[in-house]
């Protein structure tokens, strides 16, 4: 399972990829920050099309592991998150650092681009907006208030 509605734990992912064959472990941890596009963020919510998201995450991990020189672990939160919470974690292990770094970056970039997970930000002024990384401002302009 790649999606979790409970807090993520980095050590558990490291344990999944650790092996006597690997001397390098690269990690990426995405945290909820308190600002976006010049606005004060107070929290956010991730939602997903779970079956499709799980399948796409499995495909991304499998394709990144396919050369056989790297092992990858991935976890993404769904639900309501607070500032500072870990939203996503990627861990890649390999015999040498370069392959681990490349795999770690490849996985997070593909997750952001391909996996049907959506982020709704809540702002200090009470408005709410969906994040759209393809929009010029990075968000769909807020139209709701809480």
> What was the pLDDT predicted at 132?
75
pLDDT of residue 37: 87
| Tokens representing residue 4 in the block | 């979790």
Alpha-carbon distance of 73 to 90, in angstroms, equals 6
CA angle, corner 36, sides to 12 and 110, nearest 5? 50
pLDDT-based confidence at residue 125 (cuts at 50, 70, 90): very high
pLDDT in tens, 40-69: 999 999 999 999 999 999 999 999 999 899
Q: What are phi and psi of 3, to 5 degrees?
A: -95, 145
CATH topology of domain 3-39+46-119: Aldehyde Oxidoreductase; domain 3 (3.90.1170)
The pLDDT of residue 145 is above 60: no
Query: How many H helices and E strands in the chain?
Result: 3, 10
* pLDDT (tens digit per residue) in 63-116: 999 989 999 999 999 999 999 999 999 999 999 999 999 999 999 999 999 999
Residue 80: per-residue pLDDT: 98
pLDDT value at 144 more than 90 = no
Report field, pTM of the whole predicted structure over 0.85: yes
Q: What is the model's pLDDT at position 7?
A: 98
Query: How many CA atoms does the CB half-sphere of 48 hold within 13 Å?
Result: 24
| Residues contacting residue 38 through CB under 8 Å, at least 6 positions apart | none
């Amino acid at each position: 399972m790649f999606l979790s509605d409970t807090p993520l734990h980095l050590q558990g992912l490291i344990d999944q990829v650790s092996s006597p064959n690997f001397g390098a472990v690269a990690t990426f941890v995405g945290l909820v920050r308190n600002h976006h596009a010049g606005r004060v963020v107070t929290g956010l919510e991730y939602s997903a099309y779970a079956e499709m998201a799980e399948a796409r995450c499995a495909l991304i991990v499998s394709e990144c592991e396919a050369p056989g020189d790297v092992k990858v672990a991935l976890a993404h939160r769904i639900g309501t998150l607070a500032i500072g919470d870990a939203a996503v974690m990627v861990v890649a292990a390999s015999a040498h650092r370069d392959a681990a770094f490349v795999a770690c970056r490849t996985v997070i970039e593909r997750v952001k681009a391909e996996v049907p997970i959506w982020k709704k930000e809540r702002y200090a002024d009470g408005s709410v907006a969906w994040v759209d990384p393809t929009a010029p401002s990075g968000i769909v302009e807020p139209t709701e208030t809480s």
